[in-house]
Structure 1
Amino acid sequence: MLKLFSLGSAVVGLSLATLWTPMAEAQEATMQQLRDCAAIENPLQRLVCYDKLVAGDGAYTPARASQVNDKEGAFGREHHVETQDVPNEIHLQLASVHENALGKLEFTFTNGQKWLQIDSVAWPRPKQGSYFIERAALNSFMLGREGENRRMRVRRVE
Structure 2
Amino acid sequence: MRLTLVATFALAISSQAHANIEQQLANCASHTDKLDRLMCYDALAASVKSPVPTQLPAAPEATAVSASAPAVVAPVAATTAVAATSPQTVSSVEQEFGLKKKSAEEDELRLYAEVSSVKKDPYGSLILTLSNNQTWKQVGTERYKLKVGNKVYIEKGALSSYLLGTDDRNSTMRVKRLN
Indicate the structure (1 or 2) with the bigger Cα radius of gyration: 2
Q: Which has the higher helix share?
A: 2
Q: TM-score range by the shorter chain?
A: 0.3 to 0.5
Normalising by structure 2, report the TM-score.
0.38
Larger RCO: Structure 1 or Structure 2 (Cα < 8 Å, ≥ 6 residues apart)?
1
Normalising by structure 1, report the TM-score.
0.43
